[in-house]
């Protein structure tokens, strides 16, 4: 049940796998140690200090394993809901493998699981998030784009009464296409690539204006936006009208996801949105429950933007209040299945997490956000760029009950599929003219698979 192409591995020097395993991951871990040290220096209780020092020691061991390319050992039983899944996968497929010769996707996920283990076996620091400061800080430095969106969307979405049904549908279509792009490009600001971003860098990644969107659509190399709208416009008629977001990053990306989800609810296109997040810190900036709650509460009660005007703050508060109400009314539901924090690709979702597969199969549309989810959908393997999306995602497209799936992803790693029949030539040309095109986040794909009824 595997695709016919080889998965990327850390020793593949031509791929981003190598740079990631060799230098990005140790850098990220080093920064995490700095964060915990800062927390340590703020503590007073001896018990807590001693417990935290032990966490730091374990992080040191992980650093030694990672930089010394040690063999992947089983995960310690820390009572986490995913530990059995992890150790089953290690025992079954990766006995004797090390960080460099195990598939990149697995080895990278394993590193985040080991990082979690440094804290999950402690007494006081089980839920400590080494990336939390960074996540909050980057959102606070995203003021321009945050207020641009809040001021536009605080007022509930309404179409002029006098419009004909055709005019209304056209206005909805345009809004849908714009917000799908807002949601898509929100993915370019993940923190694992952009540690220490300047305010200017953040700004240039986050401009959300209309002209800008017309220009950026050219950079969507595999573009199923039209097909996505054809599907979404019919959701209104469905009894359920449920859309699921498999979330990626916290802060600005999550904020964009929520603006998009808000439109889907207000327009009546969807009746319920289910958001799927991670149970613990994952790939630096991925959304956890705490990040979700932080965003909603900071919007309503926070004082994160000292330079903002009263009107700007008011718009953010109104938006936040509406979103919190959706949660109270059950229109928005936040979930965190253990499977999302494992090393499995989504080729194994139906077999390793059948309950989750069944749950997703009841959705009318499952939107996967970001690069990592895309790697997981496609098995992170060297499939040609012309490979149709449905073929590249295997069982998530063709297993009985596979839902309609959309992947909204800015391209930040090697695997690229769904570029159409001339996709291989397009990719070859970019390889020549822009060698870093697969990791810059400048290009994107919006790909849709129609699924298969159960």
Q: Verify binding: residue 257, ligand F6P, rule CB under 6 A.
A: no
Q: Verify binding: residue 192, ligand F6P, rule CB under 6 A.
A: yes
| Residue that the structure tokens 């919190």 belong to | 324
| Residue that the structure tokens 């990791």 belong to | 439
Q: What is the CA radius of gyration of the chain?
A: 22
Minimum CB distance to Mg ion smaller for 191 or for 353: 191
For the CB of residue 208, give the shortest distance to ligand F6P in the complex, in Å.
Answer: 18
For the CB of residue 1, give the shortest distance to Mg ion in the complex, in Å.
Answer: 26
Q: Verify binding: residue 277, ligand F6P, rule CB under 6 A.
A: no
Q: How far apart are CA 194 and CA 188, in angstroms?
A: 9
Q: Using CB under 6 A, pick the residue from 190, 257, 291, 390 that binds ligand F6P.
A: 190
Alpha carbon separation from 395 to 119, 223, 340, 385 (Å, rounded): 35, 22, 17, 19
For the CB of residue 197, give the shortest distance to ligand F6P in the complex, in Å.
Answer: 13
Q: Using CB under 6 A, pick the residue from 130, 193, 213, 447 that binds ligand F6P.
A: 193
| Residue that the structure tokens 């056209």 belong to | 170
β-pair type (332-335, 272-276):
parallel
Q: Environment class of residue 23 by beta-carbon count within 10 Å: exposed (0-12), middle (13-18) or buried (19+)?
A: exposed
Contact map string, positions 229 to 248, toward ligand F6P, x by CB under 6 A: -------------------x
Q: Environment class of residue 320 by beta-carbon count within 10 Å: exposed (0-12), middle (13-18) or buried (19+)?
A: buried
Q: Using CB under 6 A, pick the residue from 142, 208, 216, 249 that binds ligand F6P.
A: 249
DSSP codes joined into one string, 392-432: HTTHHHHSTTPPPEEEEEE--SS------TTHHHHHHHHHH
For the CB of residue 151, give the shortest distance to ligand F6P in the complex, in Å.
Answer: 27
Q: Verify binding: residue 17, ligand F6P, rule CB under 6 A.
A: no
Where does this chain bind Mg ion (CB under 5 A)?
190, 248-249, 283, 286
For the CB of residue 35, give the shortest distance to ligand F6P in the complex, in Å.
Answer: 19
Q: Using CB under 6 A, pick the residue from 412, 427, 444, 446 that binds ligand F6P.
A: 412
Minimum CB distance to ligand F6P smaller for 141 or for 278: 278
For the CB of residue 283, give the shortest distance to ligand F6P in the complex, in Å.
Answer: 5
Q: Environment class of residue 88 by beta-carbon count within 10 Å: exposed (0-12), middle (13-18) or buried (19+)?
A: middle
> How many residues bind to ligand F6P according to rule CB under 6 A?
15
Q: Using CB under 6 A, pick the residue from 245, 375, 418, 445 that binds ligand F6P.
A: 375
Residue 412 near which of ligand F6P, Mg ion, none (CB within 5-8 Å, type-dependent): ligand F6P
**Cβ atoms of residues 72 and 102 within 8 Å:** yes
For the CB of residue 249, give the shortest distance to Mg ion in the complex, in Å.
Answer: 4
What are the residues whose beta carbons fall under 8 Å from the beta carbon of 350, sequence distance 6 or more? 357, 395, 396, 399, 401, 402
In three-state secondary structure terms, 276 is: strand
Show the beta-strand stretches assigned E in 10-58: none
Q: How far apart are CA 1 and CA 4, in angstroms?
A: 9
Q: Verify binding: residue 316, ligand F6P, rule CB under 6 A.
A: no
Q: How far apart are CA 73 and CA 377, in angstroms?
A: 26
Residues 58-87 that bind ligand F6P (CB under 6 A): none
Q: Using CB under 6 A, pick the residue from 138, 150, 180, 187 that binds ligand F6P.
A: 187
Contact map string, positions 105 to 144, toward ligand F6P, x by CB under 6 A: ---x------------------------------------
In three-state secondary structure terms, 274 is: strand
Stretch that binds ligand F6P, among 127-135, 163-171, 342-350, 366-374 (CB under 6 A): 366-374
In three-state secondary structure terms, 26 is: helix
Q: Which residues bind ligand F6P (CB under 6 A)?
A: 20, 108, 187, 190, 192-193, 248-249, 283, 370-372, 375, 412-413
């Amino acid at each position: 049940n595997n695709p016919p192409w080889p998965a990327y591995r850390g020793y593949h020097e031509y791929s981003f796998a190598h740079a990631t395993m060799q230098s990005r991951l140790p850098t990220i871990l080093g920064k995490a140690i700095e964060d915990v040290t800062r927390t340590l220096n703020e503590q007073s209780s001896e018990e807590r200090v001693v417990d935290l020092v032990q966490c730091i020691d374990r992080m040191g061991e992980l650093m030694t394993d990672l930089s010394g390319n040690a063999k992947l050992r089983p995960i310690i039983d820390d009572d986490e809901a995913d530990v059995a899944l992890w150790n089953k996968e290690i025992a079954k497929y990766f006995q004797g493998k090390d960080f460099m010769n195990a598939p990149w996707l697995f080895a990278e996920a394993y590193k985040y699981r080991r990082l979690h283990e440094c804290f999950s076996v402690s007494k006081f620091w089980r839920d400590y998030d080494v990336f939390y400061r960074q996540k909050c800080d980057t959102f606070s430095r995203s003021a321009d784009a945050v207020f641009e969106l809040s001021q536009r969307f605080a007022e509930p979405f309404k179409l002029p009464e006098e419009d004909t049904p055709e005019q209304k549908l056209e206005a909805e279509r345009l809004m849908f296409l714009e917000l799908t792009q807002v949601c898509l490009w929100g993915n370019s600001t993940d923190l694992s690539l952009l540690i220490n971003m300047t305010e200017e860098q953040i700004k240039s990644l986050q401009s959300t204006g209309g002209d800008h969107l017309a220009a950026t659509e050219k950079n969507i190399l595999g573009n199923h936006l039209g097909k996505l709208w054809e599907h979404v416009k019919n959701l209104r008629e469905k009894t359920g009208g449920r859309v699921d977001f498999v979330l990626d990053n916290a802060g600005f990306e999550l904020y964009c996801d929520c603006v998009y989800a808000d439109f889907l609810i207000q327009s009546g296109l969807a009746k319920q949105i289910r958001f799927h997040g991670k149970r613990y810190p994952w790939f630096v900036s991925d959304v956890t429950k705490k990040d979700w709650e932080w965003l909603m509460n900071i919007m309503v009660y926070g004082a994160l933007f000292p330079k903002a005007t009263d009107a700007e703050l008011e718009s953010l508060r109104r938006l936040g209040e509406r979103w919190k109400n959706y949660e109270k009314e059950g229109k928005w539901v936040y979930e965190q299945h253990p499977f999302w924090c494992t090393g499995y690709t989504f080729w194994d979702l139906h077999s390793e997490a059948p309950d989750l597969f069944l749950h997703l199969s009841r959705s009318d549309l499952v939107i996967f956000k970001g690069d990592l989810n895309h790697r997981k959908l496609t098995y992170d393997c060297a499939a040609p760029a012309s490979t149709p999306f449905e073929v590249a995602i295997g069982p998530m497209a063709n297993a009985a009950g596979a839902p309609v799936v959309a992947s909204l992803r800015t391209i930040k790693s090697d695997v690229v599929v769904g570029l159409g029949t001339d996709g291989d030539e397009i990719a070859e040309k970019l390889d020549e003219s822009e060698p870093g095109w697969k990791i810059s986040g400048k290009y994107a794909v919006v790909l849709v698979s129609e699924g298969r009824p159960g």
